[in-house]
Amino acid sequence: MENNQHPGPFRAEKTIILGSASPRRRELLENLGIEFSVAPSDADEPSPEAGESPAAYAVRMAEAKAHEVAGRHSQAVVIGSDTVVALEGEIMGKPVDDTDALRMLTALSGQTHQVVTGVAVVFPDRDPVTFAAETEVCMRSSSREELLSYIATGEPGDKAGAYAIQGIGTFLVTEISGSYTNVVGLPLAELLDVLLKYDVLTSR
């Protein structure tokens, strides 16, 4: 279990596992002050299928991750998630290299795109619950030199759409409409509703 530094407004009533290696998702969940463990998923992440929507793809990946972890931790409530960036229907995952990162950031520059996170909560004693959250993100127009300098920081390497709104990449964003935590990687308010509804969490 995690040793949280502060008691939050909620208490975990069941064993919770976050099926993600993302430090950003871990930090968001830690902010609730609840106890949970981290068990990164080893599930495959295939490319989107032809015609598959960003939400459907993100939920499918979240389910695959959560079920893989649940297979190893059958008595826990497992949270899986997957975040993608979509621009005019094109799904952008993590860049494969710096050239790919530049391609993504150039396409996003000066445009409004969608950040979609799929979430799957797998329970030991009931059917899984899945949902997707979408946030509109407006980007400033950035020069090639700015984007190359940003890529050189190394931050875009493991981020969907090749940027981190909570990091250096905050300079790229002019406006968002929707959940901020969704853009970071975990739509916390929506997830909280599910965990409270099924008595995984209670108020202190």
Backbone angles phi, psi at 37, to 5 degrees: -110, 160
Q: Where are the alpha helices (DSSP H) in 34-168?
A: 54-70, 98-108, 144-152
Q: Do residues 115 and 187 touch, judged by C-beta distance below 8 A?
A: no
Output DSSP code: residue 156: G
Per the residue annotation, which of 42, 82, 97, 193 is the catalytic one?
A: 82
CB atoms within 10 A of CB 115: 28
125 belongs to the catalytic site: no
133 and 190 Cβ atoms separated by less than 8 Å: yes
CA–CA–CA angle 169, 173, 177 (5° rounding)? 130
Residues in the chain: 204
Question: What single-letter amino acid sits at 121?
Answer: V
- Helices of type H across the chain: 23-30, 54-70, 98-108, 144-152, 180-184, 188-197
Catalytically active residues are 82
